[in-house]
């Protein structure tokens, strides 16, 4: 059996398309009708959408009628944040698709700090204080951080928020398909989900809206999705989303093997580079995610070197047009800037094998050996001269 010449370890950016999703999408491409039409062709398209809705609802522990399809999690997050409330409380480590609209909606936005492990601190007093304001309040807490894999406590703070009259939203994009997620048991009002994070196609997502919650539409016009989200449905993408959700639910028990591979990778990194730091290691994390940092390293250089060695990883979140800079998540955790700028994220999933881990470790060791052999004072060897201290060459002399 031939070994894949590359190791794809960037599932948190986008998971490889599952074969079940591919098959469902190809079948859906042959559906000619508009799902809003009443003829046979239209009913066939509608059936594909409703089957997918049932599958997505099942993997997140919701009712099918609570699932509203969107173009992705960014739309779902924007919809929840822009339309649910006028007073907002969010975690400092939230994804930009939550933080950016929150800043637009509420000039008095309350940003909750997180501790050194990345766990958001939610004092109950923040909701008591919020009751004095005008308009409806909303607490938005992510289920799992996409950069560090750190899991948040959602149900407790959510209960306190709802008792104070707040709507509770959860960005569960990175958690679905990797750990158990139960919308009803968590007591949520709103939850964002993405297709391509669990092996479905890009360009599809959902906002789960608690039955009975009045949420104004973000997109108005055609009245699709029971008048909650207008626009002709992307039937192939939705069908692929549903198939991926069903496969992910069926294979959730296999995530213990992914966790084993993650632990092997972290142990290997520690053996090769004892000064490496696993960010959020002391917290409960996703089974597939490692955020590894080296003080004085340059993440951009590391990514390039790993890519050339056939290994694909990311530096923090990959959802910001490929830019690499200081991570607001690591800053919120109080991580030293010199360490934060040397942080990379390794994320695994349903396609990851021990060969992938071995390829990463071999590349990591080779990069470390080269840096050591040239006596480079920084890990960003071969960096441009203007990035090195005055008078110092790339060989550290």
CATH number at residue 376: 3.90.1150.10
Nearest to 10 by CA among 374, 315, 218, 225: 315
Tell me if 204 sits within 8 A of 195, measured CB to CB: yes
Do 34 and 108 lie in one domain? The reply is: yes
Residues 202 and 14: beta-carbon distance below 8 Å = yes
The residues carrying an active-site annotation are 319
List the single range of 52-66, 114-128, 193-207 with lowest mean pLDDT: 114-128
Return the closest-CA partner of residue 194 out of 215, 214, 170.
170
Q: How confident is the model at residue 72 (pLDDT cuts 50, 70, 90)?
A: very high
CATH number at residue 45: 3.40.640.10
Taking residues 229-236, what's their average pLDDT?
A: 95
Do 222 and 277 share a domain, yes or no?
Answer: no
In this prediction, residue 130 carries a pLDDT of: 56
Q: Is the pLDDT of residue 39 over 60?
A: yes
The answer to whether residues 190 and 170 touch, using CB atoms and an 8 Å cutoff, is yes
Q: Are residues 139 and 189 in the same domain?
A: yes
Instruction: In whole angstroms, give the CA distance from residue 284 to residue 290.
Output: 12
Return the percentage of the chain with pLDDT > 70, whole number: 89
Beta strand pairing status for 87-91 and 137-140? Answer: parallel
| Inter-axis angle of helices 255-272 and 354-373, nearest 10 | 20
Q: Does residue 32 carry a pLDDT above 70?
A: yes
- 239 and 288 inside one domain: no
Which range marks the domain in which residue 129 is found? 19-250
Please spell the DSSP secondary structure of 67-120, one letter per residue. Answer: EEEES-HHHHHHHHHHHH-SEEEEETT--HHHHHHHHHH-TT-EEE-B-TTSPB
| Count of domains forming the chain | 2
SS3 124: coil
| Residues 138 and 259 grouped into a single domain | no
pLDDT of residue 257 exceeding 90: yes
Are both 168 and 83 inside the same structural domain?
yes
Pairing of strands 190-194, 167-171: parallel
Residues 180 and 74 in one domain: yes
């Amino acid at each position: 059996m031939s070994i894949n010449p590359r190791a794809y370890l960037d599932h948190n950016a986008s998971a490889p398309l599952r074969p079940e999703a591919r098959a469902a999408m190809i079948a859906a491409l042959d559906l000619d009708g508009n799902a809003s039409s009443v003829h046979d062709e239209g009913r066939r398209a509608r059936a594909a959408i409703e089957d997918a809705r049932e599958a997505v609802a099942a993997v997140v522990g919701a009712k099918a009628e609570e699932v509203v399809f969107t173009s992705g999690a960014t739309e779902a997050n924007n919809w929840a944040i822009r339309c649910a409330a006028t007073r907002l409380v969010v975690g400092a480590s939230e994804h930009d698709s939550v933080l950016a609209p929150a800043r637009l909606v509420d000039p008095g936005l309350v940003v909750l700090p997180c501790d050194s492990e990345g766990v958001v601190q939610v004092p109950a007093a923040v909701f008591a204080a919020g009751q004095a304001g005008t308009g409806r309040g909303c607490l938005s807490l992510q289920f799992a951080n996409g950069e560090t894999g750190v899991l948040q406590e959602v149900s407790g703070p959510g209960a306190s928020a709802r008792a104070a009259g707040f709507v509770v939203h959860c960005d569960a994009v990175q958690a679905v398909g990797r750990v158990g997620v139960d919308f009803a048991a968590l007591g949520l009002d709103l939850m964002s989900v993405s297709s391509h994070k669990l092996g479905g196609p890009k360009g599809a997502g959902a906002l789960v809206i608690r039955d009975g919650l009045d949420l104004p539409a973000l997109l108005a016009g055609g009245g699709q999705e029971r008048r909650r989200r207008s626009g002709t449905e992307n039937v192939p993408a939705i069908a692929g989303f549903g198939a991926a959700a069903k496969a992910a639910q069926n294979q959730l028990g296999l995530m213990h093997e992914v966790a084993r591979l993650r632990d092997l990778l972290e142990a290997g990194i520690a053996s090769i580079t004892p000064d490496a730091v696993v960010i959020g290691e002391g917290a409960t994390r996703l089974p597939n995610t490692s955020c590894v940092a080296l003080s004085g390293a340059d993440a951009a250089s590391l990514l390039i070197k790993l890519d050339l060695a056939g290994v694909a990883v990311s530096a923090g979140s990959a959802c910001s047009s490929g830019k690499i800079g200081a991570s607001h998540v690591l800053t919120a955790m109080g991580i030293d800037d010199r360490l934060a700028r040397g942080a990379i994220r390794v994320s695994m999933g349903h396609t990851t094998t021990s060969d992938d881990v071995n390829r990463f470790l071999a590349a990591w060791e080779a990069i470390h050996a080269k840096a050591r052999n040239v006596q480079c004072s920084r890990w960003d060897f071969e960096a441009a001269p203007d990035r090195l201290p005055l008078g110092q060459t790339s060989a550290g002399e």
